[in-house]
Amino acid sequence: MKQEQFIQHYQPLWDQIAAWLDYQQIPKKQRERDVLTAPALDFPRAYRQLCHHLALAQSRMYSPLLIAQLNDLVTRGHHSLYTSRLHFAHRFIQFYFQDLPQLVRREWQAMLLAGMLFFGSFFAILIAIQLEPELVYSVMDGTTVANMEDMYDPQRASRFGREREADSDVYMFGFYIKNNTGIGFQVFAGGLLYGLGSVFFLLFNGLYIGAAAGHLTQIGYTETFWGFVAGHSAFELTAIVLSGAAGFKLAAALIIPGRKSRTLALRDNAQEAILIVYGAATLFIMAAFVEAFWSSQTWIPLLIKYAVGIALWLLVIGYFAFLGREEVTDET
């Protein structure tokens, strides 16, 4: 192919790539102000084609001007791809090591309310069942109670905390993810009902989990139950509270939107609420992993399970309490 035909055939693609790269250099605020939209282009695929075109131009010894033009586009494209990956990694690290703990501390009121509802109902029913054991049947039916007793029977030689037919740790890992994230989504989405849904699911889950803990403690299954939940409780219970705080963030936009319309307030609050949900989802997955591959094991000594559980609680508390704090230096 002659150089003129080569240019005529591929110049539209090169122009598209150049326009896309030019758009990437425009500051985000200017894009929003001028309502600019990115050119429609599958850049990774177009970039591969561009590299091929440069190789062809060099092998066919086309004019130095054309080769320089293509080389400039390839260099700009490589820089764009490389920096975008670096930016993603940077944003990922910054989110978990700075933005998330800072956001949770900033929303301490919603966290406090969610924590009081969940842990308050949890400990209330747990203590009440020690005084009146029959209260467990006001929360769960007899079949559920019987299955629960079987799952934590000290005589079990297989895994604790699961049905006898569920013999695969990988299967249970997937099951726990589905179950845990389902709870978190209910608690979070309940905020759209002016917070009433979040209140209900926080109380319900606090009562349900507390009833299970209270009943198994009351009948003497203390070591098997508390040994099972010690490892993953820090991740799972904190994630439920985070989901509640995110739900209350949505509710606040509907109840007290301020000078904004409810729609605008909901959109703004949802941007922060979803970040809290990301944190909750991460903790739910971590809890599912520990629950499936560590908590259920019968061969691990009880004291080690307790020690790991305490360490993980301290880790979670320390993460949200201290990580991401900027050092304050005295100005002279």
Is there a single domain that holds both residue 124 and residue 22? Answer: no
The distance in angstroms from the start CA to the end CA of the chain is: 70
Distance from C-alpha of 1 to C-alpha of 124, rounded to nearest angstrom: 82
Structure tokens that stand for 114 in this block = 């969610």
- HSE of 321 in the Cβ direction (CA atoms, 13 Å)? 7
Q: Does the residue 327 lie in any domain? A: no
| Shared domain check, 137 and 77 | no
Rounded CA-CA distance 124/122 in Å is 6
Q: Is residue 248 part of a domain?
A: yes
Q: Maximum Cα–Cα distance for the chain, whole Å?
A: 92
**What tokens were used for 113?**
């309310």
CB neighbour list of residue 306: distance below 8 Å, 6 or more residues apart = 226, 227, 230
Q: Residue 291, Cα to own-chain centre: how many angstroms?
A: 17
- The two tokens of residue 40 are 């429609």
Q: Residues 90, 113: one domain?
A: no
Question: CA-CA distances (angstroms) from residue 149 to 120, 162, 187, 304?
Answer: 24, 11, 27, 23
What local confidence, expressed as pLDDT, does residue 94 receive? 86
Rg of the chain over Cα atoms, rounded to whole angstroms, equals: 28
Sequential pLDDT tens for the chain (332 residues): 789 899 999 999 999 999 888 888 887 777 767 777 777 888 888 889 999 999 999 999 999 999 999 999 999 888 877 765 656 677 788 899 999 999 999 999 999 999 999 999 999 999 999 999 999 999 999 999 999 999 898 887 667 766 544 567 788 888 899 999 999 999 999 999 999 999 999 999 999 999 999 999 999 999 999 999 999 999 999 999 999 999 999 999 999 998 889 999 999 999 999 999 999 999 999 999 999 999 888 889 999 999 999 999 999 999 999 998 864 444 33
State the angle between helix axes of 3-24 and 43-59 in degrees (0 to 180), rounded to the nearest 10.
Answer: 140
- Choose one of 61, 96, 131: the last residue of a domain: 96
Q: Which residue has the tokens 């695929």?
A: 45
Predicted TM-score (pTM) above 0.85: no
Give the pair of three-digit tokens for residue 327.
Answer: 């050092």
pLDDT for 180 equals: 92
Domain shared by 313 and 235, yes or no: yes
Asked if residue 273 lies in contact with residue 188, where contact means CB atoms within 8 angstroms, the answer is yes
Range of the domain at 13: 3-96
- Other CB atoms within 10 Å distance of the CB of residue 31: 14
Q: Are residues 87 and 120 in the same domain?
A: no
Tally of structural domains, the chain = 2
Of 96, 118, 151, the position where a domain reaches its end is: 96
Q: Does residue 69 sit in the same domain as residue 163?
A: no
Predicted pLDDT at 330: 41
Measure the CA–CA gap between 306 and 323, rounded to whole angstroms: 25
Tell me whether residue 331 is in a domain.
Answer: no
3-class DSSP assignment, residue 232: coil
- The pLDDT value given to residue 158: 67
65 and 178, same domain (yes or no): no
Asked whether residue 231 falls in the same domain as residue 154, the answer is: yes
205, 207, 208, 209 alpha-carbon torsion, rounded to 10°: 80
What are the b/e assignments for 238-277, b being 16+ CB within 10 Å?
Answer: bbbbbbbbbbbbbbbbbeebeeeeeeebbeebbeebebbb
Cα→Cα distances 186→196, 198, 318, Å: 11, 7, 27
Per-residue DSSP letters for 22-73? Answer: HHHTS-HHHHHHHT-------HHHHHHHHHHHHHHHHHTT--HHHHHHHHHH
Q: Is 155 in the same domain as 214? A: yes
Q: Are residues 273 and 138 in the same domain?
A: yes
* Of residues 316, 331, 321, the one with CA closest to residue 286: 316
